[in-house]
A and B are shown apart, each in its own frame.
Chain A
Amino acid sequence: MELLQKLRRYYPGSRKKGGSRKKGSSNYAYTTTRVRAMKVHLFPKETYPRLMNMDLNEMTRFIQESKYKDAIDEMARNYKGVDLIENALNRNLAVTFTKLIDISEGELNLLISEQLKEYDIWNIKTILRGKYCNASTEEIMEAIVAAGSMHYTEFAELASKDTYQEVISELVESEYYPILEQYTGDNLDDIENQLDKKYYADLFDVIGLAKSKDRKLFANFTRTGIDVKNLMTLFRLKKSGMTDPEYMDLMIDGGSQMTLVDIERMLDLPFEEFIAELENYPCWDEISDVVSSDMESLSIVESRLKKYRLKSAISSSRFYPLSIVPIMDYMLSKKNEVNNLRIIIRGKAANLGDDFIREQLVI
C-alpha cells in the first residue's frame, strides 16, 4: 500500500507546486478504502477522558507512543514540551491531509483540494501578516501549516521575500492575486476577509448544483458551516456594539438557515431581541442554555456551535460509503482529534479547569 501511494505520488499529474490538480475520473473506491483504513488509527472517544486524568508528562508520553511519533521525532530538533506536541500534531495533520490530495483523483481531488484551501489561505494571510510586522522568516514559518494544495517549500519561498509586494508578485499566477493586488499595506483586515469569502465562494463553485444525495450532504455541510460562521460573526459584532449595516460585508452568502436578509435584520436588533430571534433556528437547542443577554464570554457559544456543525456532518457518513461524505467525515474527525488533543494539553499546561476543558472538547 505504501509503495502504491509512492507510485501515485510521483505519477505525472500529482500535486504540483501551485496546487495544480489531477485530471481524469474520480477514484472514490480507492480513496474511500484508504480513508477507512486511516480512520481506524484515529483515537477512540474513550481516549479523551483517559487523557484528562493524566498529568502533562503522561500525556506527552502517550502521544509520543502513538501514530504521532514520527512527527514528534521530526519536530523534536526545534521544539520541546507542549510546543513540540502542538507542532507535531499540526505536522501530522498536514501530512495526513496532503496524503488525501495525493491519493485522490479527478473530481474527488478537486473537492478535497478546494476544502483544504482554507490552509493555503491561512498561510498566505500569515505570511502577509508577518511581512506587515517585519517578522523574521523563521517566525513566519513557525506559524505555517502546509495542509492544503500548496507545498511547504512554496510558503518558505514566499516567507523569505523582503516585502509584501514581492510576496504578492510571486503569487501573480495564483487565483488569489486579484484580491492580493488590492493590498496597499494598511488594509490587511479587508484583504483577509475577502480571501476568506473567496474560499466559500470557490467551494460553492466546485460543489455546483448538487444533484446526488452525497453531494447534497457535502453542500449542506458547507452551508451549515457558513451559518455557524455568520452567527459567530453576528455575536462578535453585537458584543462589540457594531451594528452598522456596513458590517454586512463581513457576512458570507450561502447559509442554509440564515439568508443575508435575515442576518441584516438581526444585525440591527438589540441583543435581547437578537437572542429571542435565534430561538427560531435549529442551532438554538445547542446554545440555548449558554446564551443570555448579560453573558460575558462567547467562548462557550463558539464551542457549542462547533459541536453543532460537526454533529450535523458526521452522523450520515456511513450511508454513502463511496462518496465524498466518508472522506469529509474523516477529515473532520482528524481535525477534531488534533484540536481535542491540543485543547487538553494546552489547557492542562495553562491550568484551565477540567470542566472548561471538557466543555471545549468535541467528542
Chain B
Amino acid sequence: MGVKDVTPTRSELIELKKKIKLSQGGHKLLKMKRDGLILEFFEILSKARDVRSELDVAYEEASKKIGIANAVDGVISVKSTAFSLKGTPEVELESRNIMGVVVPKIESSSVKKSIDERGYGVLGTSSYIDESADAYEILVENIILAAEIETTMKKLLDDIEKTKRRVNALEFKVIPELEEAMAFIRLRLEEMERENTFRLKRIKG
C-alpha cells in the first residue's frame, strides 16, 4: 500500500490502526509458531540424525551380508532363494498434526519374519541366506522409519520457511507500510487542522 493511495481521513486512520493491531497480533502469533516449529524441527533433526546413522549402519550390514551370501552360496543361490519371496511389506499411512503442519505417520507390518515364514525351505538354504534376509528386513524397517522422520522434517522445513516469509513480510513490509500510512494520515490530519485554525483566525480577523 503506497502512501499516495491513502485517503487522509479519520475513518481511514481508525481502519489503519485496526489493521496494524491485527498485523502485530498475527506477527506475534506467527513468530511464536515459527519458533515452535524450529524447536520441533531441532528435536526431529536429532532423531533424524540417529535414524540416518542407523540406516547407514543397516545398509552397510545388509550389503556386507549379501556380499557374504553371494560369495559363499553364490549369486545363483541367492537369486533362486529370493524368488520364493512374494509378499511385500505392508505400510499403513496415517497423519498427525504438529502446530498446524500435517505430517505422515507410517506404520509398517510384516517386515520382520522368522525363517519359517520367509517362503524358502530351511533345509535347502544356509545361515548366510538367513543373515542376509535378517539384515535386509532391518534395513527396510529403518527405511520406513527414516521415511517418516525425514518427510516430517521436510514438511516442517517447508512450513518454517513459509512462516518465516510471512513473519518477515509482516515485520518488514506490511506493518511498516501501515505505520507509514498512519503517520502520513496523522501528519495530514494535523496539517488540515492547522489549516482550519488558520482559516478560522483569518475569517475572525
A residues at B contact (CB < 8 Å) = 83, 86-87, 90, 121-122, 125-126, 129-130, 132-133, 135, 139-140, 142-145, 188-193, 195-197, 229, 232-233, 235-237, 239-242, 247, 250, 252, 297-299, 301-303, 339, 342-343, 345-347, 349-352, 356-357, 360
CA separation between A93 and B19, bound complex, in Å? 86
The answer to whether A236 and B115 touch across the interface, beta carbons within 8 angstroms, is yes
The answer to whether A130 and B123 touch across the interface, beta carbons within 8 angstroms, is no
- Supply 13 A–B pairs (Cβ within 8 Å), ascending by A: A126-B80, A132-B84, A143-B76, A189-B116, A189-B120, A192-B84, A192-B120, A193-B122, A196-B123, A240-B130, A346-B67, A350-B68, A352-B64
CA separation between A199 and B126, bound complex, in Å? 17
Q: Which residue of B lies closest to A87 (CB)?
A: B76
CA separation between A297 and B75, bound complex, in Å? 20
Q: Assess A350 versus B76: contact at CB under 8 Å? Given A242-B115, A298-B127, A302-B126.
A: no
Q: Does B85 lie at the interface of the complex (its beta carbon under 8 Å from any beta carbon of A)?
A: yes
Q: Assess A143 versus B83: contact at CB under 8 Å? Given A233-B122, A240-B115.
A: yes
Q: Which residue of A lies closest to B66 (CB)?
A: A350
Q: Does B86 lie at the interface of the complex (its beta carbon under 8 Å from any beta carbon of A)?
A: yes
Q: Which residue of A lies closest to B87 (CB)?
A: A133
The answer to whether A196 and B121 touch across the interface, beta carbons within 8 angstroms, is yes
Q: Does B148 lie at the interface of the complex (its beta carbon under 8 Å from any beta carbon of A)?
A: no
- Contact partner of A197 (CB less than 8 A), chosen from B64, B70, B123, is B123
CA separation between A236 and B86, bound complex, in Å? 22
The answer to whether B86 and A360 touch across the interface, beta carbons within 8 angstroms, is no
The answer to whether B121 and A342 touch across the interface, beta carbons within 8 angstroms, is no
Identify the interface centre among B67, B70, B77, B127: most chain A CB within 10 Å of its CB.
Answer: B127
Interface residues of B in 57-78 (CB under 8 A from A): 63-64, 66-68, 70-72, 74-77
Q: Which residue of B lies closest to A118 (CB)?
A: B124
The answer to whether A346 and B75 touch across the interface, beta carbons within 8 angstroms, is yes
Identify the interface centre among B68, B72, B81, B120: most chain A CB within 10 Å of its CB.
Answer: B72
Question: What is the size, in residues, of chain B's interface with A at 8 Å between Cβ atoms?
Answer: 34
Interface residues of B in 122-158 (CB under 8 A from A): 122-124, 126-128, 130-131
The answer to whether B75 and A129 touch across the interface, beta carbons within 8 angstroms, is no
The answer to whether B120 and A129 touch across the interface, beta carbons within 8 angstroms, is yes
The answer to whether A302 and B123 touch across the interface, beta carbons within 8 angstroms, is no
The answer to whether A299 and B121 touch across the interface, beta carbons within 8 angstroms, is no
Q: Assess A347 versus B115: contact at CB under 8 Å? Given A142-B76, A252-B123.
A: no
CA separation between A229 and B121, bound complex, in Å? 13
Name the B residues within 8 Å of A86 (CB-CB).
74-76
Name the A residues within 8 Å of B85 (CB-CB).
133
**Closest CB in chain B relative to A160 CB, distance in Å:** 16
CA separation between A201 and B105, bound complex, in Å? 52
The answer to whether B67 and A126 touch across the interface, beta carbons within 8 angstroms, is no
CA separation between A353 and B83, bound complex, in Å? 29
**Closest CB in chain B relative to A87 CB, distance in Å:** 8
The answer to whether A350 and B71 touch across the interface, beta carbons within 8 angstroms, is yes
Identify the interface centre among A189, A233, A239: most chain B CB within 10 Å of its CB.
Answer: A189
The answer to whether A352 and B68 touch across the interface, beta carbons within 8 angstroms, is yes
Name the A residues within 8 Å of B115 (CB-CB).
236-237, 240, 242
Q: Which residue of A lies closest to B76 (CB)?
A: A143
Q: Assess A232 versus B126: contact at CB under 8 Å? Given A242-B114, A299-B131, A352-B64.
A: yes
Name the A residues within 8 Å of B80 (CB-CB).
122, 125-126, 129-130, 143
Name the A residues within 8 Å of B74 (CB-CB).
86, 90, 342, 346
**Closest CB in chain A relative to B30 CB, distance in Å:** 51
The answer to whether A236 and B122 touch across the interface, beta carbons within 8 angstroms, is yes
The answer to whether B81 and A129 touch across the interface, beta carbons within 8 angstroms, is yes
CA separation between A309 and B22, bound complex, in Å? 84
